[in-house]
Structures are given as structure tokens and as C-alpha cells.
Amino acid sequence: MDQQQSNRSIAEADGRYVEVAVQAPLRRTYTYRLPDRLIGKVAPGSRVAVPFGRRKLVGFVLDTNSRALEGRTMKELAGVLESEPILPQELLSFLADAATYYHHPIGEVLRAAAPALPTEALKLLRQQGFLERGETLPGERVSTRRVLMVRPSADSPPQSRVGSNQRKILTLLEERGEISLDELRQHLKNPRHAVRSLEKKRIVATFEREAPIDPFFSEKVSADIPPRLNPAQSRAVSAIINNAPGSRSAYLLYGVTGSGKTEVYLRVIAEFRARGLGALVLVPEIALTPQLVSRFRARFGDAIAVLHSGLSIRERNRAWHCLRRGAVDLAVGARSALFAPVRKLGVIIVDEEHDASFKQEEGFRYHARDMALWRAHSANAVCVLGSATPSMESFYRAQQGKLQLLTLPERATPQPLPAVEIVDLARHRQGPSQHRLLTEPMLQALESCRQTRGQAILFLNRRGFSPSVRCVSCGEVAQCPACNVALVEHRREGVLRCHYCDFSKPLNTMCSECGGAVFESLGVGTERLEEALATRFPELRVARLDRDIAAGQGVESVLERLRRGEIDILVGTQMVTKGHDIPGVVLVGVMLADQSLAFPDFRASERTFQLLSQVAGRAGRGEKKGRVLIQSYQPQHPAIESARTHDYLSFYHNELRARREVGFPPFSRVVAVRVDAGGETEARKAAAELARVARNQRAVREGRVRLLGPAPAPISRLRGRYRFRLMLRAADRAALRVVTSALVERIDRGIAPARVILDVDPISML
Ligand code: ADP
Ligand code: ZN
């Protein structure tokens, strides 16, 4: 570990000194003396309180064999905050390596990994004056969500004349005894009103209850019978489980959508558990994959730690300690589940490994897929990356033999992959509906879907009514005052909103340029599409799934309704593209494929191909054959053409050639440096200074590391701050590290008033 100071010691290590990483943005660690009562009682990974300057901080013990520095009295450690070390040794050393790799302060890395402190520890801290009264550590506020429940009232009078909604509620109550308002919402619109009337008539009573501990466990799941593996699955499973000790143990499981990758994961996990080893499963967005959790529960029962952002501190701590003690040996979760303290880790699985959500985009910016490979390697565990559309990086690694490639070439069920048709938007300008994106072929497809009573998913990656509005008198597009992006019209809410900083103002506002009061909507967002479809197909049930919906009634309830066949057309953003497996969906429409191609990002093409293939994979998973329509202005584009033919390999080879020409990953590694400041000049100057430091490095002068920029970032102003960007790019990892370290050193000396963010292996180019 290069962050430790341990030279210049006088005495042999005698267990009196410990090395502590404090929770602060500092790239080094500190030595503390143990008070007598704690000698021999503090282990690496313990969370402790330490005096620090005039403050007191929380820190993590890294090492208990430290030595005092010559001629210095070391400060005494103030106390241990938990009875057991929160971080096991395996995790601790992995995290230390990760901190080094990402040039991120180790204390912050450990803080990001460990669950928040439990209340008792906080109390202790407060008693000892570590925190001001009323001050809380981030994430301390325990949220106990309460839900409103409905049940028949005890003295139910004869049920005279009740309305149809009220009748529905009573029928449901007869079936279930009691029901939550949330659940009622899935059956009827605005149930609150009907409940209130029933309550007035004293037919039902309402009461509050604490929300179920975990939404993933609210319904019972019955055990499943594992299917017979097909030959490709068998080969994959046996390759993974027969992995000889010491051999290469990282795999890329490349299998088309619906090819049975999940079944492979389940078998592999079962095998490792039978050997007494634990498993960790990472998925892109756990809230979107309740189905996956159900499949795990059906196979392994309820002793699974499902880690997700909805857990309260107490629940998270409970899950953490269950894993730590070995009471539970299987953890499933999104990105941050990478840090789950699974004991005797046997296998890490990263499902949909290409997904960008594995990259943490604030604070400790790590890539959970890359780190999964790393953690598995250092824990002597097996790692399996699975995808229907592997990332360029992973497939290239497989080609180089660094990952062992396992292929599932066909769907596991008799249904073939859906037929994909391209609609050239330049030729089909607009259908009779007045909506540019509702073309004649799209309308016809929806019509035949309606006739066969199939379900449809329409994907449009813009939420809101329209992505921008223009003043009809002066032509000015309404802009966010703090960011240089257009404000998005949210008509139902009656606001214009910035999707980057959340600024909003009323729709009936005046043009900031000319004072005009009439705006026209430019383009189509999900809200507008939903509305247009509801008008066009009044007899169909149209619903929407995007962040705006997710913030309100919940993703799960929409997906549940789709699954039950209570939605005919679902309109949505990226959220509809992820692994849902809904048999009734026969039509998938991509409204505007060009959106993601237009991103200022060297991965735009790759991202488009992945998105199109994933969303196409939602069609035809049931009895009926699926059909996919992709609308685009660039029908010849390789990303679109390869998605049409379901040809990952041709896409990969094409894209690889393009990447080689421009020298981007996987042929190099990138470090992005983002600089922002309140003034444009300060930001520009700071970026120029960092560029100067980089240019002074030999590796840059000799061309082994390329410096790109500095230049204004694609979003040149965000939340009122001006942004510049520079990038380092190199095939030579060691050289890149040296140059990055030089920048880090310069940044640490302070480059105020600018703020600098270092992003190693960046995913977002904004
Ligand atoms: P993927 O994860 O690759 O998208 P899944 O594991 O979800 O694929 O499998 C797709 C469908 O095929 C699921 O309904 C699953 O139950 C079914 N399936 C998987 N393996 C088999 C098999 N060996 N025999 C029959 N059905 C299978
Ligand atoms: Zn803004």
C-alpha cells in the first residue's frame, strides 16, 4: 500500500500502535497509540473514533502492527465503535487496492463500502462529544415507511348501494382480509376516494402499518423445479464449476437474451454453496429486477441478503452482519453490493456486465464490474460476467484469453429471437396522427398487436412532455439558468424542468428574452407519446414507466400490472429496456434510435447497439412470436444494422476496428479530469495548470501518454459552475499511473477556487 507511512520507526511493532484511515478526503493514513484497555482488542477492519487536530473523526483500523514515529508521541485512539470489525480482512485489503487504483482517499473508500454506523455507536460518539448535538452522520436518519391499510370494519352495516370502485375494493377485501392502499392502486384509479366513502359509511376501517421490511420478500414464492440444462448451458456450468484451483477463473458468459444465463448462475451458485462457499450477484438495477430475486428465492429460499437503496440503516446493518457471520451466504444487489462481506466467497456473478450503471458516478468513482474481477481474483473466487451484448472491454479481454469465453448461442425456450424491422424516419415522415414519431408502420404494428391482444413496449429515451420549448415570438429556447441545457416541458405537472439540476419554473412563464408568453413544444417525450397513444387507441390501456413515475407510484407496481396483462401499451425510458421477462409482450418499438447515437461519447455506438438489442430482447418471450420496430434516421448505421440482424460479433468487429483507429479503449485506458469553478476564467485557468503539470511529465512529452484537452466539457455549465475537461489516454498502464499521480499531487496542493474530479476509466463523457 503506497498510502502508508511506516518508515523511520524506532521500536519493533508491539501491538500498541495501529494504523488508521480516517473518514476524510486524505490520501494517507495515521498512526495512533492504543489505550491499555484496548491493547490486543482491536482488529484490522474495526471502526474507531480518533482525535484529529481539534476535531474528532471516525476511521478504520488498517493494521495493528504499526510503530511509533521517531521522536513523536502518537495520539491516543479514543474508542472502538462496534463490537466486531465491520470490514473483514479480505474486503479490507481489496478496498485498499481499489483506493490505490482509483487514486481515491482510502478513508472515503472504506466509508463508501461499510454500512452507516448503527445508532448505539452514534450515541457513544455523541456522549464523547464527537458530534455536535443534532448533527447526524450522512444516512443516519432511519426511514420507517408507513403504509395505509384497509380492512372491513368490525361493525359493518348492511352494504347498501355502493359504487363500482367501492364494490371492487370489497371483493378484494373478501379475498384477502386486508389490503394496502398501494396495492389497491394497482387495481383501480384513485382508490383513496372510494376508500374514504366506504369509511364514511363505516363499511371499512383504515389503519397504518410499518411497511414490510423488504419489498422483495413481501410475497411468498414457491420452490421451483430446476429445468434440465441444454447442452450449451451444461458446458458453461461445468466449465465454471470444474475450474481447477489456480487456473484462470474469470469467465465471460455471452448468451443471447433469453438463452438461460440466469439458470447457469443458479446452478453455479448451488454448486459453490454445496461446497460451503458463498456467492455474490451483482445486477444493474435491483428495483427493476424483482423477478430475478423471485427466481433466486424460488431456488434457494429466503436466506438471501437483497441489498438495495431502499433499506434502512438498521436493515442494511442487519444484512451486513448476517453475511459477516455467515448466517447468510448469498447476497444479491446493485453496484454497491460489490462490498457485501460474504464469507468464504466462492463466486461473484455480474449480470448484464455491459450496463453503465455499474459505474459509480460520484464520490468514490469505481466500476463494480472491473472491481468484481479484482475482488474475485484476490479472494481466490470465480468471477462470471454475463451479457447478451458484452462490453467492448470484456469481449476484447475474452479474445485475448484474459477471460474464458462461454457461449449460449440460442434461446433456451422454443421461441426464436424476434424479427427486427427498421423504419426509416426520413421516408416515413409522419403518420396521420400528427406525431412525427407515430409513423404509419408503427401505428399498423400497434393495430395488429391490438387485434391479437398482445402487449407492446415502446421505448423513448426522453421523459417529460417535450424535450424543449421555444418562444413563438423570438424563437428563444427556454434554458436552465444554472446549466447550459434546455428546460424540459412537463405538461402534466405544469412546469419546465432542468433534468440536470432539478430547477423548475411554471409552464405559464414569460420568455426570458422578449417577455413573450406563448411557447411551442419541440419534439416528443414519454408523457406526450403516452398522451398521443391514449388518444389514438382509446380502448387500450396505456401506461408509462420513467423516473417521473418511479418517483411516485413505484416501478414495481407498473411492472406488476404489465405482467398481469393489465397494461396494453407501456411507454417508457431506459427502464423498459432492462431484463423484464413478460410473455405477453409481442411488440417492441424503438421510437428514435438516433438519440443515443448523437451522444458526444466514443461509446455512443456501442451503447446504442446494447440498448437496441436489450429492448428487442423483451419481445416474443411467450407463446406468440415477437416483433420489433426500430425507427431511425440512419438505418444504415452499423449499430442499428447489427441490432437488426442480432449479430453481436459483426458489431463487435466493426466497432473494434473503429476503436483501434482512434485509440480509445479497449486499446487504451483513459483518465478523465473534470474541473469546475464558479467563474469561467478560474475554471479555465485551473484546467490549464493541470494540463501544464501533465505536459511536464516525461511520459506525456514522449507520447506514451496522450493529453487531450483541456476543453470546455460537453455540458459547459452545470449547477451554475463552469466546466472544463482534460483526458489522459495511454496503452501503457504504468505510465498513465505516473502521470495521474503527478496530477493528484498537484490537485492535493490545492487549486482553489476550482474543484477537480478525477475519473479513472470513465464511462460518462459529460
Ligand atoms: P437470460 O438470463 O439469458 O435472459 P433466462 O435464464 O431468463 O435467460 O431464461 C429464459 C427463459 O428460459 C426463462 O423462462 C427460463 O426459465 C427458461 N429456461 C432457462 N433454461 C432452461 C432450460 N434448460 N430448459 C427450459 N427452459 C429454460
Ligand atoms: Zn439546471
* Residues 448/301, Cβ–Cβ less than 8 Å: no
Report the atom number in ligand 1 closest to the C-alpha of 263: 6
**pLDDT tens, position by position, 246-263:** 555 999 999 998 899 999
Dmax over CA atoms of the chain, in Å, equals: 90
Q: What is the pTM of this model?
A: 0.85
Average of pLDDT values for 230-249?
A: 85
Residue 220 confidence (pLDDT): 65
pLDDT given at position 137: 46
Q: Ligand 2 centroid vs 111 CA: distance in angstroms?
A: 29
* pLDDT in the model for residue 264: 97
CATH superfamily of 231-408: P-loop containing nucleotide triphosphate hydrolases (3.40.50.300)
| Superfamily for domain range 3-127 | PriA, 3(prime) DNA-binding domain (3.40.1440.60)
Q: What is the pLDDT of residues 638-652, one digit of tens each?
A: 999 999 999 999 999
Cell representation of residue 675: 474541473
Ligand 1, atom 20: closest residue by C-alpha: 260
The dihedral built from the CA positions of residue 588, 594, 597 and 598, taken in this order, carries a sign that is negative
Please tell me the number of the ligand nearest to residue 488's CA. Answer: 2
Q: What are phi and psi of 209, to 5 degrees?
A: -145, 150
Ligand 1 residue neighbourhood (C-beta within 6 Å): 227-230, 233, 255, 257-263, 412-413, 581
Domain with CATH 3.40.50.300 in the chain: 231-408, 419-467+523-658
Residue nearest to atom 4 of ligand 1 (CA): 258
118 pLDDT exceeds 50? yes
In the chain, CATH 3.40.1440.60 sits at: 3-127
pLDDT digits 0-9 by tens, 15-28: 889 999 999 888 88
Residue 390 identity (one-letter amino acid): P
- Name the residue of 230, 254, 263, 577 whose CB sits within 8 Å of the most ligand 1 atoms, as the mutation to test its pocket: 263
How far does the centroid of ligand 2 lie from the alpha carbon of residue 547, in Å?
A: 17
Predicted local distance difference test score (pLDDT) of residue 134: 46
pLDDT (tens digit per residue) in 379-412: 999 999 999 999 999 999 999 999 999 999 988 8
Question: CA-based angle 673:668:110, to the nearest 5?
Answer: 55
CATH node for 146-210: 1.10.10.10
Among 461, 408, 372, which residue's Cα sits nearest to residue 648? 408
Q: Across all residues in the chain, what is the average pLDDT?
A: 87
Q: How many alpha carbons lie under 13 Å from residue 480 in its C-beta half-sphere?
A: 24
C-alpha cell at 653: 468487429
Domain 419-467+523-658: CATH class, spelled out: alpha beta
Distance from C-alpha of 329 to C-alpha of 325, rounded to nearest angstrom = 9
Rounded Cα–Cα distance for residues 10 and 68 (Å): 7
440 DSSP 8-state letter: H
CATH of 669-760, one of 3.30.465.10, 3.30.70.360, 2.40.50.100, 3.40.1190.20: 3.30.70.360
Confidence of residue 559 (pLDDT cuts 50, 70, 90): confident
